[in-house]
Amino acid sequence: MLKEKVRALAHELLPQAIETRRHLHANPELSFMEFNTAAFIAGKLDAMGIPYQRMANTGLVAMIEGTQAPSDRVLALRADIDALPIHEKNEVPYASKFPGVMHACGHDVHTTSLLTTAAILLRLRDSFAGKLKLIFQPGEETVPGGASMMIKEGVLENPRPYNILGQHVMPELETGKIGFRAGRYMASADEIYITVTGKGGHGAMPHTTVDPVLITSHLITGLQQVVSRHANPTTPSVLTFGRVIADGAHNVIPDKVTIDGTFRTMDEEWRFEAHRRIKKMAVSIVESMGGQCEIFIKVGYPVLYNNERLTAQTRTHTEEFVGKENVTDLDIWMAAEDFAAYSQITDACFYRLGVGNKARGITSGLHTATFNVDESSLETGAGLMTWLALQNLAS
C-alpha cells in the first residue's frame, strides 16, 4: 500500500533528516546571504541526482518526474531557507554557531522536510506520473521577499505548476497535528517610515520651538482613526508603530522625530486605500501643527489566500495520512508570509505543521531566542508532504 510505503520511508529517513536539520540550524544565514545554505542544498540534490537550477542568487528550483505514463500535471512544493537576526539562547549541541543569527522561524525544518520529501519521491518514482517542482526559496524574512524575486525569474513557468503547497511550523500545535484554514489566512504587511521635522530648543522655552515630539504624539494617536473609522469592521486591519526616535534630552526638544510602523490587513483593495489615507492624514496633522512631514510606505507581502478547493482537497488527504483527529482548524493570523506571492498567481495551500511538545518543554514561540522543535515532527513533515504530492498529482 502506497501510504504505508511513504510512512515507512519517512521513518527510515528520520535520522538523516535530524542530521540535516541540525546542520542547517547550527549554520544559519540571513536573508539573501544564504550562500553556504544554498551550496549545502545543492550538494544534497547532486548526491540524489536531482537536476536543479539557481534562481534569485541564493535560491534553487529542482525537478523530479514520475516514471508512470507521461502527464502534463505539475505541482510545486516550497521551502524557505533564510534565518533571523536573533541571538540564540538554546543550550543544545546544534545551537547556532553565529552570534546574532538563528533559525527562529523553522526554516531549517522546512528545508529539511523538502529535501527528505525529495529523497522519498525518488524511491517512489514508479508510483506517480507528472512533475514536481521543489522550490528552495531565499529571503522570506526580508522585503521584497525571495518569492517575488523567484517569480520574476520564472519559477512558476516552464513548466507552470497548477498548484503549489507550502508548509510552516507551528509550536502552538503538538507534534503530529496539522492545521488548515481556507480562504484568507495571513495578512498583507507594509512598512511605514515617517519623519516629523520641527524646530528644536530648550525644554523650558517651548514657545520658541516647533515641538516634533508633541506633534508626533498627536500623529500616532490620530492615525489610529484610519483603522477605527475607515476600515470596514469585518476586515481585519492593524496599524502599529513600534519604533519612535526623538533624540533630545529631558530638557531638550529635538529638531525631528522618526517613527517606524507596520500596516496589515486582509483586503488588497482596502490595503492601498489605507496607504492613501495614512499619507494624507500624516501630512495634514503635522503641517497643521507647524511641522513638516516626510512619509514612505514600503509595500511588502500581499494577503495569503488559500484556495478553497485545493485546501479542502489537501485537508482530506491529510486526514487520510495522520488521522482526522490530528487535523485542526486555524484562525486568521495577522503575521505575513511571502508565500502569499505564489498564492496571487496560482492555486495555493499553506498549512501548519505541529512541532510543539509540552511534555518536553518545547513551547517557545516563533521569532524567539528559545524557539526549538520536537524533531520527530520531521517524520510527519516529510511523510505528509510526500503523500500530499502523490495524491495531488493523481487527482
Catalytic residues: 82, 140
Q: What is the DSSP letter of 325?
A: G
Strand partners, 178: 327, 353
CB within 8 A of 55, min separation 6: which ones?
61, 149, 150, 153, 154, 155
To the nearest 10 degrees (0 to 180), the angle between helices 107-123 and 2-12 is 130
Which residues fall within 8 angstroms of residue 311, CB to CB, at 6 or more apart?
Answer: 180, 181, 182, 183, 349, 351
Angle at 244 between CA 239 and CA 247, to 5 degrees: 165
Backbone angles phi, psi at 288, to 5 degrees: -65, -20
Candidates 338, 210, 223; CA nearest to 281 is 223
Query: Residue 281 is placed in which grid cell?
Result: 492624514
Task: Please state, in angstroms and rounded to a whole number, the distance separating the CA atoms of residues 30 and 102.
Answer: 8
DSSP state letters, 331-378: --B-S--TTHHHHTTSEEEEEEEEEEBGGGTB-PPTTSTT----TTHH
For residues 214 and 342, what is the distance between their CA atoms, to the nearest angstrom?
43
Given CA atoms 379, 384, 390, 393 in this order, what sign does their dihedral have?
A: negative
Q: Which three cell numbers stand for residue 207?
A: 514657545
Q: Which one, of 155, 124, 176, 132, lies nearest residue 322 by Cα? A: 176
